[in-house]
Amino acid sequence: MENGKLQIIYFEKIDSTQKYLIEKIKNNSLIPPVCIWSEMQTDGIGSRNNKWIGKKGNLFFSFALEQAKLKEVPLESLSIYFGWIFKKTLNKLGSKAVMKWPNDIYLIKEKPKKIGGVITNITRNTIICGIGLNTKFAPNNEFESLDIEIKNDKILKSFFSNLQTQTWEHVINEYKAEFEEYKKIFAISGKLLGDGSLSNNKKRIYSKR
């Protein structure tokens, strides 16, 4: 992705930024790099085929990049790559967010509560990443909302600015330290390897995009 080349399209309301962008990439209606974002999503996609509950005012976006632009990033760890950069973006803006392996964003107060998540697909040699964040509202008591007050478009702008500067080596080396610090809190065992997988009892566990 090069400066000034990213197309950003805003919808006041959408069923799913991820579904919409995948469809447009498949029929060549949109070409990467492009981002679809909204503050109201009615049928969002979560990881492991779960539904991401969308409350009006939160941040929902999906973006498409050419797969060739990210050759260095292991395919199984694309969500780790994008998730860490997004988490670091929130930190730079004043949040105490942390990342749970492999693709969730949390706040840790009395207990860990999820505030966001990342899902990544590959379609026609194009990486399509979707991110949802409870910037304003948590859907229920099992979740939390962001711990800073900030406009969604500022988060988006900051994220894409940071995305242009981060290599996979830098991301995984930074994340390893946080992973070790919080893995007991998240009840995760194993060692984080250089490709983003976990080594557990001599077996490797890979994240699912």
Question: Any idea what the Cα angle at residue 107 is, between residues 103 and 109, rounded to 5°?
Answer: 145
Taking the C-alpha atoms of residue 188 and residue 29, their distance in angstroms, rounded to an integer, is 41
Taking the C-alpha atoms of residue 164 and residue 172, their distance in angstroms, rounded to an integer, is 16
What is the CB-side half-sphere exposure of residue 202 using CA atoms within 13 A? 0
Distance from chain centroid for Cα 90: 12
CB 141: neighbour CB atoms within 10 A?
7
Taking the C-alpha atoms of residue 183 and residue 180, their distance in angstroms, rounded to an integer, is 6
Task: Name the band, by pLDDT with cuts 50, 70 and 90, for residue 43.
Answer: confident
Question: Global pTM?
Answer: 0.92
Q: Are 168 and 73 in contact (CB under 8 A)?
A: yes
Q: Quick one: tokens of 95?
A: 């949040």
What are the pLDDT digits (tens) for 57-94? 999 999 999 999 999 999 999 999 999 999 999 999 99
Q: Work out the percent of the chain whose per-residue pLDDT is above 90.
A: 79
Q: Quick one: tokens of 179?
A: 């992973």
Task: Give the phi and the psi of residue 131 in degrees, each rounded to 5.
Answer: -130, 130
Mean pLDDT for the stretch of residues 38-49:
74
What are the pLDDT digits (tens) for 166-195? 999 999 999 999 999 999 999 998 999 999
Most distant CA atoms of the chain, gap in Å:
48
Taking the C-alpha atoms of residue 52 and residue 58, their distance in angstroms, rounded to an integer, is 12
